[in-house]
Structure 1
Amino acid sequence: MNRLARPAGRRGAARVLLAATAALALVTGCSGSDEGDAKTKSKPAAGSEAFPVSLTNAWGKTEVEKKPVKVATVSDGDTSIALALGLVPVITPDAEDGGPVPEYKQRAVDKLGGKKLKTYDDTDGTDYEAIAAEAPDIILGMNTWSMDTDYAKLKPIAPVVTYADKKHADTLTWQERLTTAAKALGLTAEAEKVIAANDKATKDAAAAHPEFKDKTYTYAVVHPEQITFMSHADQDPGVFEQLGFRKTDKAKSYTAEKNAVSLENLDELEADVLLITYPFGDNGLLSAGELEKNKLFQSLDVVKKKHYAVVPSENTLSSAVAYPDALSSPWVVEKLTPILADAVAGK
């Protein structure tokens, strides 16, 4: 699953995951789609990037007459696309509610000159007036669930780059979203470099940790109402499996719709490696300390042998794992790999 614009903006890792309780796509990547990229056709033009560009989307066509300079975004994932391609948006939603910027985003901002991003309050959704005031050349909306409402109001402001089919809001990988946006921005070569760099980071980490290969894993999220079995059979492989891990046989018993693990069935979490995250803190079903005191939980081999670890939410890692994008993916590998290494080693 990609880190899409949430219906009321991203309100920290806890609210990010809450927005997707029923169908949160695990840890690391939405399912790919053969229908992926928006249909694109370019007219011949001088230079390496051809403009104008015509993109078919779920609401019509987007015509980009010349290479855009001023880019506005309507989701955190779209901000990541712009930054990954070397562009500082003229305006973005306030994904952090005025709080600290995630490390991976701050790195990109610093690399691009360190200027603080100009944001609008997205508590009540997209602020069309704030976007219009910046007179953008183009609006990126590849990572939003609210385009059905937004498109008609954004189109008069500037060309809107979004997905070709409404179901793509949930199914496109971050690579597909990045590639489509890059076509409209005239930055296809840069997008290819971003994807290649991410692939290299993951492959290098896997090569450095051969002990990961074929180890089974379970990933669970403690939501307010339940413990959620995130690594179900239909879930995309994502970073865990790219690093060499594989799902347990118990994963076949769970789906995006049927994913609750009761306290009486904690043995369903058994695996070579168990990872749990608590993004809701005190509002979760139970705390880390309470779960670790549970007798059944203590009886699991994975717990007794110390192959259990917590994926932190305070530094936005659990959110970035759930919603990978063009900017966060290498950082996820960087931060998650040592956690996995310690879990495999039983530290």
Structure 2
Amino acid sequence: MKWIAGLIGLCLSISVFAFPVTITHQYGTLTMDKKPLKVVSVGQVDHDDILSFGVKPIAIRDWYGNQPYGVWPWAQSALGDAKPVLLDPRIIDYEAIAALKPDLIIAVSAAMDEKEYQKLNAIAPTLAGPTNYEKWTIPWDVRHLMIGEALGYSDLAQQHVATLKQKLQTIKTQHPEFEGKTAAVAFYYNKQPGAYASKDLRSQFLISLGFVIPAEIDQIAGDAFYASFSEERLDILNNDIVVWLGSEQAIESASTAIFRQRMPFYKNHKEYFTGDLVGGAFSFFSYLSIQYLIDEMVPELSKVTAP
């Protein structure tokens, strides 16, 4: 991951501390008078963004995956030898956070309610998610820009976003086989299949590459960011490619062979299985993990969709 080393060097060479800063979020405003030195990450994926600016949080809310200090491989170089406190992923542990005496709490992706925000903000200035976005649907660039500004790296955040968007556009141009192909990001949960709606971040990644998410999935999802249906309706996934969130073994264990194996996408080998690591990058969908997806996922998508 040569881009990680370059990123760290860039962060160390650029110091843009435009304080004071005031940021509007869904529950009010955050004002920081000076650069925060003790940052706690409460949002499930916010630590990826924090680390991308060369800032090492003193505590991280461990989401899932049993990774060292809650940090996945695409961000471990940025963490270095730091050993942040791991916070309980199931709850917001106010006592543990207060004991750390943070200067700033970042909770952009925490999907918290206003009462939870008020409790955190009473401990230290807290950055909640942006307005006008549903839970779990905050775009990676919006999150990155907010966090960058709070940390004093607004200019660098804008540079990150512009560079990665250009890279995604280049990837799209290099892979005309993606353009207009229908795709579904599918999963099994409690033995029931489903697919993510077009507003989900994983689907948004495919859309950015030129794929199209079928309208039927959005119709079934309604206001939710995913659609669930019975195995008898696996035909909903009959697209040019099905991207399964999980390993092939996990999907085969969860699914009923008689249904899946009669589907055209199965017979025509139009399935891609993310496995745990790429699936983690897909779910985090951060500035750092998207670059991992470009390296690891895009070539596999090309193999499946190639004529």
Aligned to 1:300: 263
Pairwise mapping of residues 314-325 of structure 1 onto structure 2 (< 5 A)? 314-315=276-277, 317-325=278-286
**Does the CA contact (< 8 Å) of 1:320 and 1:332 recur in 2?**
yes
Distance of 1:280 and 1:91 partners within structure 2: 34
Q: Which runs of 5+ in 1 are unaligned?
A: 1-46
**Does the CA contact (< 8 Å) of 1:73 and 1:79 recur in 2?**
yes
Q: CA deviation at 1:89?
A: 0.8
Q: CA deviation at 1:319?
A: 3.6
Q: Secondary structure at the match of 1:200?
A: helix
User: What is the CA RMSD across the aligned residues, in angstroms?
Assistant: 3.0
Distance of 1:228 and 1:342 partners within structure 2: 24
Distance of 1:253 and 1:168 partners within structure 2: 17
Pairwise mapping of residues 45-194 of structure 1 onto structure 2 (< 5 A)? 49-96=17-64, 99-100=67-68, 101-109=71-79, 114-165=80-131, 169-194=135-160
**Does the CA contact (< 8 Å) of 2:102 and 2:124 recur in 1?**
yes
Distance of 2:291 and 2:234 partners within structure 1: 32
Distance of 1:120 and 1:142 partners within structure 2: 18
Aligned to 1:12: none
- Select the residue among 187, 190, 195 that pairs with 1:221: 187
Distance of 1:123 and 1:297 partners within structure 2: 33
Q: CA deviation at 1:171?
A: 4.3
Cα 1:254/1:322, change in 2 over 3 Å: farther
- Select the residue among 193, 207, 212 that pairs with 2:173: 207
TM-score of the superposition, structure 2-length normalised?
Answer: 0.80
Q: CA deviation at 1:88?
A: 0.7
Q: CA deviation at 1:322?
A: 3.3
Aligned to 2:300: 339
Structure 1 counterpart of 2:62, which letter?
A: D
**Does the CA contact (< 8 Å) of 2:43 and 2:111 recur in 1?**
no
Q: CA deviation at 1:176?
A: 1.2
Q: CA deviation at 1:74?
A: 1.0
Q: CA deviation at 1:339?
A: 2.1
Q: CA deviation at 1:227?
A: 0.4
Q: Secondary structure at the match of 2:287?
A: coil
**Does the CA contact (< 8 Å) of 2:247 and 2:273 recur in 1?**
no
| Residue correspondences, number | 288
Q: CA deviation at 1:234?
A: 5.7
Q: Secondary structure at the match of 1:139?
A: strand
Structure 2 counterpart of 1:52, which letter?
A: P
Deviation per CA, 1:113-172, whole angstroms, max 9, x where unpaired? x11331233155223333333332211111112353433332243211223548554443
TM-score of the superposition, structure 1-length normalised?
Answer: 0.72
Hey, which of these two has a bigger chunk of helix by percent? 2
Cα 1:323/1:252, change in 2 over 3 Å: same
Cα 1:335/1:149, change in 2 over 3 Å: farther
Aligned to 1:34: none
Identity of aligned residues (%): 25
Distance of 2:24 and 2:139 partners within structure 1: 18
Deviation per CA, 1:190-225, whole angstroms, max 9, x where unpaired? 111221232233223223322222222122111114
Q: Which runs of 5+ in 2 are unaligned?
A: 1-14
